[in-house]
Amino acid sequence: MTMLPKTVPGAKKLGLVIDLDTCVGCHACAVSCKEWNTGGEAGILPDYDKYGPEPDGVWFNRIHSYESSEGGACRTVNLPRSCLHCEDALCVTVCPTGASYKRAEDGIVLIDTDICIGCKLCSWACPYGARELDEEAGVMRKCTLCIDRIHNEDLPQAEREPACVATCPSRARHFGDLADPQSKVSQLVKQRGGVDLLAELGYRPTNKYLPPRKAAIPTGPREAPARAASGIGAALLRLLDRALSR
């Protein structure tokens, strides 16, 4: 068993806020993530059966697209999915070697591949399917929140953000400190009614999702905004449930 870090006063909670209203499902973030991490600290993210009938590989970020008919209107909802850097991360506490850990200073969940034995306990514990086994190296891998970009003092300040955020053509991805109520990401969550995925499980994910706007999924002309937001949140959870059940 591996312990989660003690709460440090003033510590950051770095994470992503993803806008499901403006994500167009283009996969640019997923490709950019794979390219950056293959060439960076994480090392090569392998592909299997590249040109065969069932190509697969290690991807830290995957996009799921659905047709939604919530409120009687049809639209496509795209759900990017990567590690949510949870506060109560069971993927950390189940790890028998200490390879899976959460940083006290900024909340990023990482894997030390030097001591990972590839036992898969963490991937079974993660309800979001965010961990990917590297079958060639025999170790687990996952989103690093681009730790080698965001804290990289060799990069200009403007480039110290995750590759997926920098790439997104519709600006649907936002990066920042969710422990700071005044940060841009915290303000976005507040203004748009950002939600936790599968909140009832109690993992307390740091990443948040901004629901599609009410105009995009009509819920009735006289419905109160709070009720409408909660209906959209429930729809999101149903979409996620379908995604993770596959």
Cβ atoms of 217 and 232 closer than 8 Å: yes
When asked if residue 61 is in the footprint of ligand SF4 (CB under 6 A), the reply is yes
- How many CB atoms within 10 Å of residue 219? 20
Give the contacts of 244 (CB within 8 A, at least 6 positions apart).
127, 128, 129
Q: To the nearest whole angstrom, how small is the minimum distance from the Cβ of residue 114 to ligand SF4?
A: 11
80 binds ligand SF4 (CB under 6 A): yes
Q: For ligand SF4, which is the closer residue by CB, 39 or 225?
A: 39
Q: Could you tell me which residues come within 8 angstroms of residue 224 by beta carbon, excluding any fewer than 6 positions away?
A: none
CB of 122 or CB of 236, closer to ligand SF4: 122
Least distance in angstroms from the C-beta of 210 to ligand SF4: 11
Return the number of the residue (75 or 227) whose C-beta is nearest ligand SF4: 75
SS3 string, 96-114, reads CCCCEEECCCCCCEEECCC
Amino acid, res. 222 = R
Using CB under 6 A as the binding rule, the residues of this chain from 118 to 177 that contact ligand SF4 are 118-122, 140, 143-146, 162-164, 167-168, 170, 172-173
Question: For ligand SF4, which residue of 68, 89, 100, 236 counts as binding (CB under 6 A)?
Answer: 100
Handedness of CA 213, 215, 219, 221 (dihedral sign): positive
Chain residues in the site for ligand SF4 (CB under 6 A): 23-29, 33, 36-37, 60-61, 63, 78, 80, 82, 94-95, 97, 99-100, 111, 116-122, 140, 143-146, 162-164, 167-168, 170, 172-173
